[in-house]
Amino acid sequence: EMVPLEMHKVRIVQKLNLPPIDDRLKAVTEAGNNTFLLQNRDVFMDMLTDSGVNAMSDQQMAAMMVADDSYAGSATYTRLESKLRELFGMHYILPTHQGRACENILSQVLVTPGSIVPMNYHFTTTKAHIVLNGGTVEEIITEAGLAVTSDLPFKGDMDVAALERLVAENGPEKIAFVRIEAGTNLIGGQPVSLENMRAVRAVCDRHGLTLVYDASLMADNLHFLKTRDPALKDRSIREITREIADLCDIIYFSARKLGCARGGAICIRTEEMYNRMRALVPLYEGFLTYGGMSVREIEALTVGLEETMDEDMISQGPQFIAYMVNELDRRGIPVITPAGGLGCHIDVMRFLDHVPQAQYSAGALASALYLVSGVRGMERGTLSEQRNPDGTEPLANMELVRLAMPRRVFTLSQVKYAIDRIDWLWQNRAIVGGLKFIEEPEILRFFYGRLAPV
């Protein structure tokens, strides 16, 4: 049995509450059965996301104390810029307040009405910005990537032949850019191989396409490259990072997965592209030397980026996730395998095979799990999709409840508690029914829509 070993010690703690079940029922009913609308005081283990809730290191806290406050030309910003140039080898940097702000800028500049953005898999905010600018998203994940249970090491890989076909059918001028998402979020935090990235790069070179890398989940992806690709086992995380970056034209990321409360950046290879995007930073984010972040957050981000080069640091999330996934799997509970990054993902099509997708089975399970445990997870399935322009509902490829593993936040006992409660719910799954919307927002409905039992 592989038990994770914490390579850090805990020196600041936060008290948790575990409200009794009657209070949990009241809380989840008031939240419209949407775990996004729960109050944190009613939550025992918050496994909603790993975004903005990871533990900070002492080094990050210390750096925040020496931040250089100024609107323009802050030394704090220069430190971030230097770190990004050093790690990615790209000269031009635009700071933003978070990942979706990068997506707004990229989409406004690169996406035109009728254009296409091929990608290994979409992320909710990415797709929303592309669609808002008149583009469409083409998901060209390999078929094997959609297999819920598998032992493939890199399920996030793009189908390179499908990319070639897409370019041949539409012409390269229709392709706004090609996007690779590290640690593919919506299919279970599954990594992308370096080999696949090289093949995608070759297609981009042949047709003059821009390759954009969403590095929000790069830390996990780096860990998997190092541990799952035999060709990389003797390479340092820093070298692997640079090798990835050298394949890309643009790298953007959300800093919220790096122990920061806020932040993001777009790293750009050419001055020409930088000039096309630059004006949007003061317009939407803030001046070019802070981009909507506070100087303290920028300092924490710079240190967070450096800590991402530390194997003992980036292995923590994946090790805890692997423990949880393997323990659930051992009990016959349907989960996405192999364990990926980000969190543990329950396969709801099998967990609740009696609830149709149109009744938001994953949303129903997330709500039920909170009720029986105080553990807050997130629906990642049909509820997280947007309706088609004609109002019809696309059923998601995967119907998941994601239990994110904030880095270095939970102890193993807490993870065992979550496993035990999920096991109880699995034994009693017949009691869980479907949901229907009682309030359905038009855009990103999963964030604040309200539902009731069917």
Q: Is 124 a catalytic residue?
A: yes
**How many other β-carbons are positioned within 10 Å of the β-carbon of residue 144?**
12
Query: In the bound complex, what is the minimum distance in angstroms from residue 321's beta carbon to ligand F0G?
Result: 14
Does 108 contact ligand F0G by CB under 6 A? no
Q: For residues 68 and 138, which CB has a smaller minimum distance to ligand F0G in the complex? A: 138
Beta strands in 282-440 (DSSP E): 343-347, 375-376, 378-380, 400-404, 435-439
Measured between alpha carbons, how far is 130 from 329 in angstroms, rounded to an integer?
Answer: 36
| CB proximity list for 243: less than 8 A, separation 6 or greater | 194, 235
**Exactly one of 159, 214, 347, 379 binds ligand F0G (CB under 6 A); which one?**
214
Phi first, then psi: what are they for 80, rounded to 5°? -65, -45
For 100, 229, 248, the CA distances from 173, given in Å and listed in that order, are: 25, 34, 19
> Residue 45's closest CA among 441, 427, 417, 440?
417
In angstroms, what is the C-alpha Rg of the chain?
21
Query: In the bound complex, what is the minimum distance in angstroms from residue 77's beta carbon to ligand F0G?
Result: 19
Phi first, then psi: what are they for 439, rounded to 5°? -145, 115
Query: Annotated catalytic residue: which of 78, 124, 125, 136?
Result: 124
Site string for ligand F0G, 325-364 (x = CB under 6 A): ----------------------------------------
Site string for ligand F0G, 235-264 (x = CB under 6 A): -------------------x-x-------x
Query: Annotated catalytic residue: which of 24, 127, 155, 380?
Result: 380
Query: In the bound complex, what is the minimum distance in angstroms from residue 156's beta carbon to ligand F0G?
Result: 11
**Does residue 65 contact residue 42 with C-beta atoms inside 8 Å?**
no
**Exactly one of 98, 193, 308, 319 binds ligand F0G (CB under 6 A); which one?**
98
Q: For residues 46 and 434, which CB has a smaller minimum distance to ligand F0G in the complex? A: 46
Q: For residues 74 and 254, which CB has a smaller minimum distance to ligand F0G in the complex? A: 254
Site for ligand F0G in 189-208 (CB under 6 A): none
Does 104 contact ligand F0G by CB under 6 A? no
* CB-closest chain residue to ligand F0G: 99
Q: For residues 45 and 217, which CB has a smaller minimum distance to ligand F0G in the complex? A: 217
Q: For residues 49 and 319, which CB has a smaller minimum distance to ligand F0G in the complex? A: 49
Stretch that binds ligand F0G, among 55-63, 77-85, 93-101, 390-398 (CB under 6 A): 93-101
**Exactly one of 49, 76, 196, 384 binds ligand F0G (CB under 6 A); which one?**
49
Q: Is 214 a catalytic residue?
A: yes
The residues with which 401 forms a beta bridge, in sequence order, are 346, 379
Stretch that binds ligand F0G, among 76-84, 140-148, 212-220, 364-372 (CB under 6 A): 212-220
Q: Fill in the amino acid letter for 33.
A: N
**Exactly one of 44, 92, 123, 290 binds ligand F0G (CB under 6 A); which one?**
123
Does 185 contact ligand F0G by CB under 6 A? yes
- Say if strands 136-139 and 116-119 run parallel, antiparallel, or are unpaired: parallel
For 247, 248, 258, the CA distances from 195, given in Å and listed in that order, are: 11, 14, 25
Q: Which two tokens stand for residue 46?
A: 């918050």
**Does residue 447 contact residue 356 with C-beta atoms inside 8 Å?**
no
Measured between alpha carbons, how far is 137 from 126 in angstroms, rounded to an integer?
Answer: 9
Query: In the bound complex, what is the minimum distance in angstroms from residue 125's beta carbon to ligand F0G?
Result: 5
**Does residue 114 contact residue 131 with C-beta atoms inside 8 Å?**
no
Query: Annotated catalytic residue: which of 127, 257, 408, 421?
Result: 257
**Exactly one of 133, 216, 289, 302 binds ligand F0G (CB under 6 A); which one?**
216
Q: Is 210 a catalytic residue?
A: no
Does 142 contact ligand F0G by CB under 6 A? no
Beta strands in 364-406 (DSSP E): 375-376, 378-380, 400-404
The residues with which 379 forms a beta bridge, in sequence order, are 401
> Residue 97's closest CA among 227, 280, 314, 229?
280
Catalytic residues: 71, 123-124, 214, 257, 380, 446
Q: Which residues bind ligand F0G (CB under 6 A)?
A: 49, 51, 98-100, 123, 125-126, 181, 185, 214, 216-217, 254, 256, 264
